[in-house]
Structure 1
Amino acid sequence: MDKSDLFVKGWPDDMQFLNFSLEAPLAYASCGEFTAELGWQHHRYQHETDTEILVGLSGQVFLQVSGETFTLEAGDVLTVFPHETIQGTRQTVTPSTFFWLHVVAPATVTAQPAANALTLPRFFHLQAQEKAVVNIHQLLDVSHSHYLVPRAADYQATMLFIELANDAAQQRAASPSHQGISNLVREWIRTHMAEPLTVTAIADRFHLNASYLTRIFKRATGMSIQEYISSVRLDYARYLLLTTSEPVAAVARQAFFNDPKYFSRLFKKKLQLTPSQYRQAYTHTFLNNQQVDPGVDVAAQVAQLENKQR
């Protein structure tokens, strides 16, 4: 599979895969469903020979594994390989829930899925979330019950891994769609909004023709790529206006607008309020919140903040 196929089908060319042998079930170690309250942050944890998977169930959890950052949301699956370190990058901004599971089994890390192996990508989003959730609940039940069958939890944990691996494999084999490409581009823009983005640069990143990308993005989203970039940065600016006391010019710079005057004009055009009027309209802002990591999808958070300030 060449790089263009890899991107179109949703797998970055630097993706890593963890591969397990199918000759024996994985050895179950522990699992649970964790609810993170507002302001929770994952502690630093160094893995030994165990593998951990985290499946997002609700909210957002901000994590780092081996120097790479991830935002775990509902339907996302993150694989932590043996001997790696996982830690939180910032506190949760909304109550969040995720499932975690540790297993022990020999595994190899590759840049491509291995043949005849149970393979999990480093990070992906489930297509069939309901099936995975059913398997999660079954494993939670088995792991907390007494079974006469030896290694019942091992087999149930292996079945969950198989379900996740199958979902990922089906996505890799799926034919590309305009909506799928647009979703990938939107997510990439969100996580790179601090960069000087252009349509050509984004198209090159996904190994696509710029005119083709422009057409399918407009068709799928109803807006141009540049309009979407501006909307993502405006969402971030709105969040900063609601959660900090920084001057408007400073907010503009932090939201990656080089020209504060242009920022103010665009802000008023989109929201029918100047940045200062917007801030004043929500007088009970809560300050001193930790700064949002560039790339975090803050649109829903802004809506929650606006509602709370009314």
Structure 2
Amino acid sequence: MADLLIDCQRPVRYLQSGQFSAELGWRHHLFTHQADTEVIIGLSGRIQLAIGSEQFKVEAGDVLTVFPFESIVGTLATVTPSQFIWFHFIQDGSYQVVASGNTGTQKSQTVGGQAANNQPTGPTPSELAATTLRIPRYFHLAQQEKVLIAAKQLLDVAHSPYFAQMAENYQATMLLIELANASWQERQGISSNQTSLNEIKEWIRVRMDQDLRVAAVAAHFGLNPDYLTRRFKQELGVSVKAYMNSVKLDWAKYLLLTTRLSVAEVSQQAYFQDAKYFMRFFKQQTRLTPSQYRHAYTHTFLNNQQVDPGVDISAALARQDLE
């Protein structure tokens, strides 16, 4: 398995995106990428794909990345209705394809595909730089809300009237940051053998339907409540209670963007005890009412096998080169 390292000192250049609905019997046609990268985020159902000799099943929460100059094709027809978000971008600078875990041959290229080297090396300083994003070939989102919110925002920004493409570029970069961070958090969680703050956060997240108290959380992990509060403040910069509310808020945002539930129903399903408090808290945190937030991101490009986007990456790349 491989990862893509992207130097994001400057934002990536957005090309195309959409939300695809695949009916029964659909199979991805053979598509060969040029200098562009494609990311596919599974929403529901299952699609089966191959990149070279590697085969993948993309289900809800799965993320698959097609690196530049690779071909992707469907291996089997869908047996259940499936949906996924897709977007194409190009790196405005150099990138590397490396073996997962910083081992194996590293291939460094620039936009346009000029190979720089194919020599085995160890981790480079650029890998460790704060501006370098690591996007795995394939991984599963343990927590999907933030990535899906960023993806929905990209779809809205990309298909809304903006005076400059800068907005699309920055939103695509923000989505990549969320994907890279989600992957990083997954790796950190796997490598930790002790009770970490990530474990406590996850325990809180899966119990957000309960009216949790700081003392109850601390007692479950055998910690002093004051100590737990200090850890949250030191490592996250927020109180335990503020983190609990942020988890509920993220879920509420996701429901607002992906369902037709009323604001009161969203409040209930996001486990806020009082709808009026939810609306006050939401506006305090986002400076928008729940309804304003929902209507701010409504321009989502939908496509399926009957209404295909007709993506012409060659034309898109040519337009980018002229800018």
Normalising to structure 1: TM-score of the pair?
0.51
Q: CA deviation at 1:115?
A: 1.8
1:131 aligns with 2:146: yes
Q: Secondary structure of 1:64's partner?
A: strand
Residue 57 of structure 2, aligned match among 28, 53, 71: 71
* Correspondent of 1:103 among 89, 93, 97: 89
Aligned length: 164
Match of 1:119 in 2: 134
The SS at the match of 1:133 is helix
| 1:132-185 per-position Cα deviation (integer Å, ceiling 9, x unaligned) | 11011100100001123551000000000000000001111114589xxxxxxx
Letter in 1 for 2:162: Y
1:90: how far off? 0.7
| Residue correspondence of structure 1 range 1-310 to structure 2 within 5 A | 15-105=1-91, 106-111=94-99, 112=101, 114-116=127-129, 117-175=132-190
Cα distance per residue 1:245-275 (max 9 Å; x no partner): xxxxxxxxxxxxxxxxxxxxxxxxxxxxxxx
* C-alpha displacement of 1:22: 2.0
State the distance in 1 between where 2:160 and 2:186 align: 34
CA distance in 2, matches of 1:150, 1:125: 30
1:54 corresponds to which letter in structure 2?
Answer: I
Secondary structure of the equivalent of 1:162? Answer: helix
Q: Distance in 1 between matches of 2:153 and 2:146?
A: 11
- The runs of at least 4 consecutive aligned structure 1 residues that moved more than 2 Å come to 175-178
TM-score by length of 2: 0.49
Aligned to 1:172, the other structure's residue is in SS state helix
Structure 2 CA distance for aligned equivalents of residues 73 and 63 of structure 1: 11
Equivalent residue letter for 1:95:
P
In the aligned structure 1, how far is the partner of 2:51 from the partner of 2:162?
Answer: 35
**Percent of residue pairs identical:** 49
Change (3 A) 1:50 1:150: closer
2 CA distance for matches of 1:175 and 1:29? 34
Cα distance in 2, alignment partners of residues 97 and 26 from structure 1: 25
Distance 1:93-1:150 versus aligned 2 partners, 3 A rule: closer
Q: Which has the higher strand share?
A: 2
Determine helix, strand or coil for the equivalent of 1:28: strand
